[in-house]
Amino acid sequence: MSRIGKLPVSVPKGVTVTVKGQVVTAKGPKGELSLTALDDVSVEMVDDTIKVGPVGDSKRAMSMWGLHRTLIANLLAGVDKGFEKELEINGVGYRAALKGKILQLQLGFSHDVDFPIPDDIVIACPKPTELVISGINKQRVGQIAAEIRSFRPPEPYKGKGVKYKDEYIFRKEGKKK
């Protein structure tokens, strides 16, 4: 039995949820999102909570039970509060700047890296070496943060590159004589 799946998802205040068959739609102060659940799980609205249950006893149904409960919880949290990822840029001359809808990164290459910002994502640059990526879809925020990090991942010798704010870089010792 899924320990995560059996917990009901409570609907926060200010968020309206509609469940039509396998489609869950949530509207909140940040926007609107919807999720189409697989046929292996059943989704129903009971009072101010959403209950997710497996259909049958198959291994796939049990796996999808906890997954869909978490996806619905993230859906409600996104339209209510939103999600945020913070990135740090370390290195001499490494910096970021916003030019309209384009994020311009100087990461030690012979050219600047221009990253077009998608419409559903907001990127803020409080300092030239910090980026804050926010949006209502947790998967999209994480994917965009991973794409920006992939331009210059942190290296283990000096720690130069783009890293998550809470990420620990395992440092290596350099060459010895």
For every residue of 50-69, DSSP letters joined together read EEEEESSS-HHHHHHHHHHH
Contacts of 126 (CB under 8 A, 6+ apart): 132
Residue 126 has pLDDT above 80, yes or no: yes
Is 177 part of a structural domain of the chain? no
Average pLDDT, the chain: 93
Residue 132 has pLDDT above 90, yes or no: yes
Q: Give yes or no: residues 14 and 46 share one domain.
A: yes
For every residue of 95-132, DSSP letters joined together read EEEEETTEEEEE-SSSSPEEEEPPTTEEEE-SSTTEEE
Rg (CA), the chain: 21
Q: Which domain holds residue 115?
A: 83-164
Is 24 part of a structural domain of the chain? yes
pLDDT digits (tens, 9 = 90+) for 45-89: 988 999 999 998 899 999 999 999 999 999 999 999 999 999 999
Is 34 part of a structural domain of the chain? yes
Looking up residue 147, the CATH number of its domain turns out to be 3.90.930.12
Is 65 part of a structural domain of the chain? yes
User: Is the whole-model pTM more than 0.85?
Assistant: yes
Q: Give yes or no: residues 62 and 88 share one domain.
A: no
Residue 1 has pLDDT above 70, yes or no: no
Measure the CA–CA gap between 7 and 175, rounded to whole angstroms: 53
Q: Give yes or no: residues 92 and 137 share one domain.
A: yes
